[in-house]
Amino acid sequence: MKNPEELKEIRSKLNASELEDIQWLHTEMATFLESDEVSSEGVTRLENMINTLNNFRRTYTQRVIRLHKLGHMLD
């Protein structure tokens, strides 16, 4: 079982994969905004961004729920 300090550390930090996803989304959105063309490539980029964001949201939410379940150990 993890001690309260370890739980607080887990709760407060995004992991490397999550940070890479956020950075990729940031870069893709910037690239998308620079382009003023409406095309099938733009739709593909949007779909990729939406899928990545949905995956990030799902794992983030699951992590929050797990931490809430462990929350009684932090009090």
Q: pLDDT of 2-48, one tens digit each? A: 676 776 666 668 889 999 999 999 999 999 999 888 999 999 999 99
R_g of the chain computed on alpha carbons: 17
Q: Which amino acid is at 1?
A: M
Confidence of residue 74 (pLDDT cuts 50, 70, 90): very low
pTM of the model: 0.75
Cβ neighbours, 10 Å, residue 70: 15
